[in-house]
Chain A
Amino acid sequence: MSKFLKFTASIVLLGAAWASNAGAQDADAGEKVFRKCAACHAVGDGAKNKVGPELNEIFGRIAGSHENFKYSNAMVKAGEEGLVWDHDSLTQYLAKPRDFVKGTRMAFAGLKKDDEIANVIAYLATFSASAEQAAAEPAPTAAEGGETAPVEAAEAPATNAADAVIPEHGIYHLGREALPEEVAAWDIDVRPDGVGLPVGSGTVADGGVLYDENCAVCHGVFGEGEGRWPVLAGGYDTLTADRPVKTIGSYWPFASTIFDYVHRAMPFGNARSLDADQTYAITAYLLYLNDIVTDEDFELSNETFSEVSLPNEENFYPDDRLEEANFATNVEPCMENCGDGPAEIVMRARILDVTPDGDDESGAGGID
């Protein structure tokens, strides 16, 4: 008997306990937790498969069984061995996805807090008819919708206004001095000259492992980009081509931008989760994918950072639009009999027909 069948059996006992306990989980709080998932999963009206499968009616769904979604072999096998998504299996999966289903394609590292797991499951349950039924018994105590907030006179603080301490800085003496720990917590930006780099290091090889776990799901195993997610590598000698491919290697001017952006904003949906060493490693690996460094043992650190430069740095120059002919000022434009002969149509939007209307056509020139 596989481990998954045991879980399915145990839910019969757990189900009752959970139903009576439904008030303890907070679907509203779970909605916020779900934001960590929303980069890859949709749920609710009109939810479609994204990087991950849509999660409507997830309760009772056999693992790896959603039509039209391409799962890892591991997830399909888990379903065949009897894994069904319910409160118990979701709890274990969300805590440590890659331990629970070894080989799952889901890159998410897992939710660390038990109440976050309980709440997000309660939230998902609101989109599963079977789970809603089980939880229906004790009505949730959340405030009823549509009610207007009660009107109360705003209260002033109990202290006497004359007792307020006025700081000495500035002109209006407003705000307070930022503490060094507070500045350190927020000031994580990194400049091309290395100002702002934290102490740390990581190798190309370490970065490859981290990249496969955290980045490849959107950016592709070789940085080629899945769907319309940004392409990170390649594209050399395409900047004058009909369709330029702007990557770290082909376009970006500074390696510091990689470190800064990964550290502040990646992975998408779980920002600020990579520490300095991990960020150095991923940055090193991205340089490797772009042939900027070629040695898998290369270690990027605050010490070695200045050794790296990107090939396209010299090809950026300041805004000089004002030198274009069409910026000439106080030239009275033509008002009568302009141009050669009557105007004729040379291009029509109808030909391309990519205006949104519910179909899935796609046009050129996406933004990201």
Chain B
Amino acid sequence: MSQQPEKDKNFVPSRRSFLQGGLTAAGGAAVAAIGGGAALAAGTPDPAITELKDWNQYSGPGVDAAPYGVPSPFEAHVVRRDVPWLTADPISSINFTPLHELDGIITPNGLCFERHHSGVAEVDPAEHRLMINGLVDKPLVFTMQDLMRFPRENRVYFLECAANSGMEWRGAQLNGCQFTHGMLHNVMYTGVRLRTLLEEAGVKPSGKWILAEGADASGMGRSIPIEKALDDCLVAFKMNGEALRPEQGYPVRLCVPGWEGNMWVKWLRRIEVGDKPWQLREETSKYTDLMPDGRARRFTWAMDVKSVITNPSPQAPITHGRGHTIITGVAWSGHGKIKRVDVSIDGGRNWQHARIDGPSLSRSLHRFYYEFNWDGSPLYLQSRAIDEHGYVQPTKNALRAARGDNSIYHNNGIQTWYLKSNGEAENVEVS
């Protein structure tokens, strides 16, 4: 065991107690129970059953103790986390969704990762306007009240930052799927089709592009081709049923389904229609893909088919020893639905079909499970997604062969977790 317990002080309590349990367990059979309970000798009555607990005996808080409910204090470790060395300053930075603590397909609002370029804009909805100008019959201004009078839609979409897994492009670097894959969330949005708003203003035939612009101090702006704008883009004001969170663009954001998160402009205040792209900072100096010949791809918008095993993973070791075990994870594709997920426990030599459970929606996360009987031997865990168009998630080496070492964005390569016989998992790459 080379893991140092003091290195893990930010990780979950169950991990720390696992490590202590794992250090003393013989033969790799780690037996610490989730929640820190001690192992029991066979035949010893469980005090969780035989002893009277406070909650068995005394009344709890009344209905209004928390007018806006919050998670159990025992879930306090389930939070977004950042990687301080990644960026110059927390005001223009990113944090990560704790994928290893979630199940199903929906990301709770308070856990959706954040990426800001000038901090969280605190916008008064009464003073927020959405303007449509440029190559339209009539430039228009909408209040939030106006927006909510257009026909609404409810759609579940994943949002993935183009730089998700970017730190892994050159090799295994961060220990935890929260850090390697956590620039990802999946939310049900309520909003108005951008097409509906554009038709209200009347797009002129010369209008081939739109510019989406935010109200924050970075004035975030991205050019989007008119075909996409008129297809499935959504101007959303609700997430998972409630108002957008400030850090997700309250009171209104753009959804660009299946395309890189940077285009999903938050605090959306203006849509300009034009005949050419604007070539702003975020689509020239950033979010372009440097290739090995020194040239660069631009307008690489779609997020490709991808998956990751969330449990077990470095932040979520197996604590129960050998026996019946569940591997789970998420899969998604910017091109549509996921058709199939395969799981390998031997580093990609042999593959089995995983079971997809829950809603299968286009451009949304899919949840997969693979159940098997773990004999306690070390494994190399991988998942591989295939979408409805037949795109197959590639290996990291296949991506490097095509794009070199300096591409950063759009890393959808297959992730490997090295599951050790004590139940710990580590981020590795295999031959």
Contact = CB atoms under 8 A, between A and B. Distances in A.
B242 interface: no
A141 interface: no
B430 to A, nearest CB: 4
Interface string B384-400: 10100111101000110
Nearest to B293: A240
Contacts of A261: 280-281
B63 interface: no
A365 B87 contact: no
A201 B65 CA distance: 61
A178 B140 contact: yes
B278 to A, nearest CB: 5
Given A189-B211, A254-B279, A350 B426 contact: yes
Interface in A348-364: 348-350, 352, 354-358, 360-364
Interface string A324-358: 11110111011111111011111111101011111
B87 A177 contact: no
Contact of B138 (A50, A177, A365): A177
A251 B409 CA distance: 16
A187 B141 CA distance: 13
A331 B389 CA distance: 11
A282 B33 CA distance: 62
Specify the main secondary structure of chain A where it touches its partner. Answer: loop
A248 B285 CA distance: 8
A335 B351 contact: yes
A252 B150 contact: no
Contact of A265 (B122, B218, B304): B218
A342 B347 contact: yes
B89 to A, nearest CB: 7
Interface in B136-176: 137-143, 146, 149-150, 163, 166-167, 169-176
Contacts of A253: 279, 284
Contacts of A187: 133-134, 270, 272
Given A178-B139, A218-B88, A170 B202 contact: yes
B377 interface: no
A113 interface: no
A366 interface: yes
B141 A343 contact: no
A361 B199 contact: no
A191 interface: yes
A218 B399 CA distance: 34
A330 to B, nearest CB: 4
A356 B348 CA distance: 29
A112 interface: no
B272 A172 contact: no
Contact size range, A = 35 or more
Contact of A346 (B134, B143, B274, B430): B430
Contacts of A348: 172, 418, 426-428
A182 B131 contact: yes
A274 B281 CA distance: 18
Given A316-B296, A321-B300, A330-B390, A366 B429 contact: no
Contacts of A190: 278
A333 B199 contact: no
A38 interface: yes
Given A170-B199, A337-B349, A271 B296 contact: no
Interface residues of B, number: 118
Interface stretch (B4-12, B54-62, B230-238, B316-324): B4-12
A326 B298 CA distance: 19
B392 A331 contact: yes
Interface stretch (B43-51, B76-84, B97-105, B243-251): B76-84
B71 interface: no
A343 B346 contact: yes
- From A38, A252, A264, A360, residue with most partner B Cβ within 10 Å: A264
B94 interface: yes
B87 A326 contact: no
A164 to B, nearest CB: 12
A144 interface: no
Interface string A165-199: 00001111011111000110011011111000000
A321 B297 CA distance: 9
Contacts of B89: 39, 50, 229
A312 to B, nearest CB: 8
B276 A193 contact: yes
B53 interface: no
Contacts of A182: 131, 141
A26 interface: no
A228 B87 contact: yes
Interface in B300-317: 300-302, 304, 314
Interface of B: 2, 7-11, 64, 67, 81-89, 91-92, 94, 117-119, 122, 131-134, 137-143, 146, 149-150, 163, 166-167, 169-176, 179, 196, 199-202, 211, 213, 217-219, 221, 269-270, 272, 274, 276, 278-281, 284-286, 288, 290, 292-302, 304, 314, 342, 346-351, 380, 384, 386, 389-392, 394, 398-399, 402-403, 405-406, 408, 410, 418, 426-431
Given A187-B270, A343-B430, 15 more contacts: A39-B91, A169-B137, A174-B146, A242-B405, A252-B285, A264-B221, A315-B296, A319-B297, A319-B298, A326-B398, A326-B399, A343-B380, A348-B418, A362-B85, A366-B85
13 contacts: A170-B201, A175-B143, A178-B139, A189-B280, A319-B299, A321-B297, A321-B300, A326-B398, A326-B402, A343-B349, A349-B172, A352-B173, A355-B314
